């Protein structure tokens, strides 16, 4: 374990280029909160001049895993991966907090219990009327360490996968693909799942939604629980390996990156390259495999911009495809967002553990989006959608934030109705 930390950080020459890219450092300005600082701390744990103190843990946890530092590092160091390994090391040496352990090891690993608990949560949310920004029920949030006006995503009473058959056929079948739904689309934003399925079937793709799929493991391993994540990865791998499909489609950059890279690179699981090469983001598959260009009209938006989810752009390397698709919409002007690929501050569960930091980073992003004067911002990750919607809601500004697939699907529907 320590050897691994050393290997990951030894080539750092402390040039500091990573600092310019780090959204967390930008807000705090302290060296120890920069990627270079974190790398030094991790090296210090290896070298023995840094202990696994509370301050160390806090600094390591403060990283939002946006990977901008890794993309920037010319020396080939991955401060991002070093941090994940450091979290794993902390989990081994100091344990995982009880609440996380319960969620990761009990709820998420039990195939039926996770959706069931989400549904229960959804029921409770409706029962105690949490949706109003001024509901007294929100007094519970400060007790949990969250801001009073924190947006709480609505968990579905019926998950997306509950609503869908396992196989959705198409006419003129060109491909058969598996759709790895991911927790965001399954439990919170089913419209993403519906859009993905509609788009695919429309263009002659048969969609299989494997029943037994589970969480990809991103929230689990980013918290340092590699063992829990490995369990999930192996279960998913079993499900995905036994399918006779041409591609595995994701509509969440984190799910895609995790299947494509992290199961192997971070968790050390043998993943056949035939499988990883089949993983496509929905926009990537539409563009690269189906050569789709929608000259369709999109309702409700005159100007569109696009925000790159960190794991989609830097994890999966999907940058041009969503832009190409969005630019192809008729009667809609596409404008590029300044700093489109900088983190929005969502970061999975980051906004729950670091609400202030998450909000500061998010506000910068929201400002940049407002400058484009676009009335719709598309993106490719449920957490980014949640975060951006919250930023606009706090600021009292009305801006549509949608998944790229949802925008495209709406345009398609409009077209076929005409």
Report 70-89 residues binding other proteins (CB under 8 A): 73-76
CB of 29 to other proteins, least distance (A): 5
CB of 1 to other proteins, least distance (A): 20
Using DSSP, state whether 329 is helix, strand or coil: coil
CB of 75 to other proteins, least distance (A): 4
Secondary structure element (H or E) that encloses residue 356, with its range:
helix 355-372
By C-beta, is 16 or 97 nearer to other proteins? 16
CA distance 221 to 226: 5
Report 253-292 residues binding other proteins (CB under 8 A): none
Report 23-42 residues binding other proteins (CB under 8 A): 29-32, 34, 36-37, 40-41
By C-beta, is 72 or 414 nearer to other proteins? 72
CA distance 376 to 369: 9
Q: β-strand 167-168 against 205-208: which pairing, if any?
A: antiparallel
**Residue 375 CB contacts under 8 Å (≥ 6 apart), including other chains:** 300, 301, 302, 303, 304, 399, 400
Our finding on whether 46 is near other proteins (CB under 8 A) is: no
CB of 49 to other proteins, least distance (A): 6
Q: β-strand 279-281 against 247-250: which pairing, if any?
A: parallel
- In the list 14, 111, 158, 333, the residue contacting other proteins (rule: CB under 8 A) is 14
CA distance 189 to 183: 9
**Residue 220 CB contacts under 8 Å (≥ 6 apart), including other chains:** 104, 108, 228, 229, 232
Q: How far is CA 121 from the centre of its chain?
A: 21
- In the list 4, 17, 154, 413, the residue contacting other proteins (rule: CB under 8 A) is 17
CA distance 341 to 73: 16
Our finding on whether 44 is near other proteins (CB under 8 A) is: yes
Our finding on whether 371 is near other proteins (CB under 8 A) is: no
- In the list 23, 24, 46, 59, the residue contacting other proteins (rule: CB under 8 A) is 59
CB of 319 to other proteins, least distance (A): 14
List residues near other proteins by CB under 8 A. Answer: 10-11, 13-17, 19-20, 29-32, 34, 36-37, 40-41, 44, 49-51, 53, 55-56, 59, 73-76
């Amino acid at each position: 374990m320590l050897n691994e930390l050393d290997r990951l950080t030894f080539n750092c020459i402390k040039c500091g280029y990573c600092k310019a890219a780090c959204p967390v450092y930008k807000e705090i300005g302290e060296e120890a909160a920069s990627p270079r600082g974190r790398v030094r701390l991790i090296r210090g744990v290896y070298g023995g001049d840094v202990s696994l103190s509370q301050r160390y843990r806090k600094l390591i946890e403060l990283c939002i895993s946006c990977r901008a530092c890794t993309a920037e590092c010319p020396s080939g160091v991955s401060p991002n991966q070093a941090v994940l390994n450091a979290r794993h090391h902390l989990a081994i040496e100091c344990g995982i907090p009880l609440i996380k352990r319960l969620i990761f090891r009990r709820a998420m690993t039990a195939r039926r219990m996770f959706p069931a608990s989400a549904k229960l949560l959804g029921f409770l949310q409706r029962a105690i009327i949490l949706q109003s920004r001024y509901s007294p029920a929100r007094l519970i949030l400060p007790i949990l360490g969250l801001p009073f006006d924190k947006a709480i995503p609505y968990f579905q009473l019926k998950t997306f996968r509950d609503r869908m058959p396992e196989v959705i056929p198409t006419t003129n079948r060109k491909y058969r693909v598996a759709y790895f739904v991911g927790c965001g689309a399954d439990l919170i934003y089913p419209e993403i799942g519906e859009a993905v399925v509609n788009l695919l079937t429309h263009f002659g793709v048969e969609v299989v939604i494997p029943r037994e799929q589970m969480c990809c493991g991103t929230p689990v391993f980013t918290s340092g629980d590699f063992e829990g994540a490995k369990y999930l990865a192996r279960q998913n791998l079993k499900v995905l390996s036994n399918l006779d499909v041409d591609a595995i489609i994701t509509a969440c950059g984190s799910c895609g990156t995790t299947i494509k890279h992290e199961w192997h690179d971070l968790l050390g699981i043998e993943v056949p390259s035939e499988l990883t090469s089949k993983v496509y983001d929905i926009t990537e598959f539409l563009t690269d495999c189906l050569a789709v260009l929608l000259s369709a009209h999109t309702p409700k938006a005159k100007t569109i911009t696009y925000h790159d989810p960190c794991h989609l752009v830097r994890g999966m390397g999907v940058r041009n495809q969503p832009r190409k698709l969005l630019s192809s919409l008729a009667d809609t002007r596409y404008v590029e967002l300044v700093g489109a690929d900088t983190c929005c501050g969502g970061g999975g569960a980051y906004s729950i553990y670091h609400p202030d930091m998450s909000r500061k980073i998010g506000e910068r992003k929201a400002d940049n989006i407002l400058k484009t004067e676009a009335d719709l911002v598309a993106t490719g990750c449920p957490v980014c959608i949640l975060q951006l919607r919250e930023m606009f809601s706090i600021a009292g500004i009305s801006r549509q934030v949608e998944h790229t697939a949802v925008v495209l699907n709406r345009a398609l529907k409009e077209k076929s109705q005409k």
